[in-house]
């Protein structure tokens, strides 16, 4: 049976509401020289498509949570904490720029998948040499999975351990590293198995473009804390991580030293674990 053509038009409209490359308000446009971008490929891509201000400025917690839900179908509950940390990187009371987010030690961490370590080079811009570990992983097949993600995490950390004497590698960093990687696998692939087409991930990192034209669509099920945290744990386990020592800390402002530096807290924790262990 043939569908009446008006139905086809309606359904094309519905599925393409977020997807008209170069045409709609949400088409992909690379940033202008005056636009700001930063260390997060997810948010850079949202700005390149106009789901966040294309200037990369004046980003609010609400706007970032809304855009991540609209485009990536990520439950805001999963991102509220990180979005609030984002605000600490800014001098504005209630907004940040994408560039602000590179403040080392608030969210930004070492041994990233696609950016150099802060002490080594540019911790904000995409770098193909850094990205090659992930790009070339799981050879011979067209997908990444939990096993290969763990190997990439291990290798990226080993490179930083060899090259970066100022490496920070505590529970906080491995937590964020596993979370951002798992979230990427969940958005572009399967949140349960972690199996994810390579080309979606590569286009997104390299071009900071949503790979609609290549067949990606918004995940049909909301990515909620329960499902994503499971995958985060699996990626972390597969990465065979061990700490390089040091205390987890959060930098609470642009001109601040690591003020939530938890050396004192760590000492307390150590004495508590010593007592209980
Ligand atoms: C769907 C939502 C998001 C996804 C899929 C996502 C994904 C990612 C990925 C994969 C990275 C790692 C890049 C790398 O290792 O080279 C990253 C980094 C980062 N993201 Fe996001 N992100 C999301 C939302 C956010 C939000 C809401 C914020 C804060 C407002 C944020 C701030 C950052 C920052 C500061 C980094 C730098 C970390 C580093 O040093 O690599 N992201 N993100
Ligand atoms: C920033 O965004 C808010 C809400 O999205 C808007 O009301 C305000 O005018 C914007 N400010 C600037 C400077 O663009
Ligand atoms: C990319 O990172 C590598 C390794 O740290 C570095 O040698 C190279 O200069 C970086 N490239 C750019 C364009 O910054
Ligand atoms: C991931 O893919 C590789 C290559 O196909 C395979 O050897 C490995 O077993 C897979 N891992 C899982 C958990 O399925
Ligand atoms: C993920 O893979 C499982 C097992 O193959 C499958 O049952 C499920 O439907 C897949 N989920 C998504 C979102 O593709």
Contacts of residue 62, defined as CB under 8 A and 6 or more positions apart, other chains included, come to: none
Average of per-residue pLDDT values in the chain: 89
Closest ligand (CA of 122)? 3
Is 202 close to ligand 5, i.e. is its CB under 6 Å away? no
pLDDT in tens, 237-247: 999 999 988 78
pLDDT in tens, 137-192: 999 999 999 999 999 999 999 999 999 999 999 999 999 999 999 999 999 999 99
The pair of structure tokens assigned to 104 is: 């080392």
Full set of structural domains in the chain with CATH: 31-245 (1.10.489.10)
pLDDT in tens, 221-268: 999 999 999 999 999 999 999 998 878 888 888 887 665 555 566 666
Look at ligand 1, atom 41, and give the residue with the nearest C-alpha: 112
Cα–Cα distance, 249 to 106 (Å, whole number): 8
pTM above 0.85, yes or no: yes
Task: Find the residues whose C-beta lies inside 6 A of ligand 2.
Answer: 58, 60, 63
Q: Which of 36, 58, 93 to mutate to test the pocket of ligand 2 (most atoms within 8 A of CB)?
A: 58
For residue 57, the ligand 2 atom closest to its alpha carbon is 14
pLDDT at 153: 98
């Amino acid at each position: 049976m043939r569908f009446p053509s008006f139905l086809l038009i309606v359904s094309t409209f519905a599925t393409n509401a977020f997807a008209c490359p170069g045409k709609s308000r949400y088409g992909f446009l690379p940033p202008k020289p005056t636009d700001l971008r930063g260390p997060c490929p997810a948010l850079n891509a949202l700005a390149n498509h106009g789901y966040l201000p294309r200037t990369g400025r004046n980003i609010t917690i609400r706007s970032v949570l809304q855009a991540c839900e609209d485009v990536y179908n990520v439950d805001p509950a999963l991102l509220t904490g990180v979005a609030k940390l984002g605000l600490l990187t800014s001098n504005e009371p209630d907004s940040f720029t994408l560039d602000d987010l590179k403040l080392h030690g608030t969210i930004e961490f070492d041994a990233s998948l696609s950016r150099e370590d802060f002490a080594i080079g540019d911790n904000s811009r995409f770098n193909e040499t850094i990205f090659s570990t992930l790009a070339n992983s799981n050879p011979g097949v067209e997908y990444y999975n939990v096993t290969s993600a763990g190997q990439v995490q291990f290798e990226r950390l080993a490179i930083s351990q060899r090259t970066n004497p100022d490496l920070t590698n505590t529970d906080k960093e491995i937590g964020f590293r596993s979370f951002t990687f798992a979230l990427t696998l969940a958005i572009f692939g399967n949140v349960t198995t972690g199996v994810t087409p390579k080309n979606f991930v590569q286009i997104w990192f390299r071009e900071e473009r949503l790979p609609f034209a290549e067949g990606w669509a918004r995940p049909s099920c909301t990515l909620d804390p329960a499902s994503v945290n499971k995958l985060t744990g699996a990626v972390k386990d597969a990465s065979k991580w061990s700490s390089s020592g040091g205390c987890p800390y959060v930098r609470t402002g642009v001109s601040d030293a690591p003020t939530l530096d938890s050396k004192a807290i760590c000492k307390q924790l150590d004495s508590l674990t010593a007592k209980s262990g």
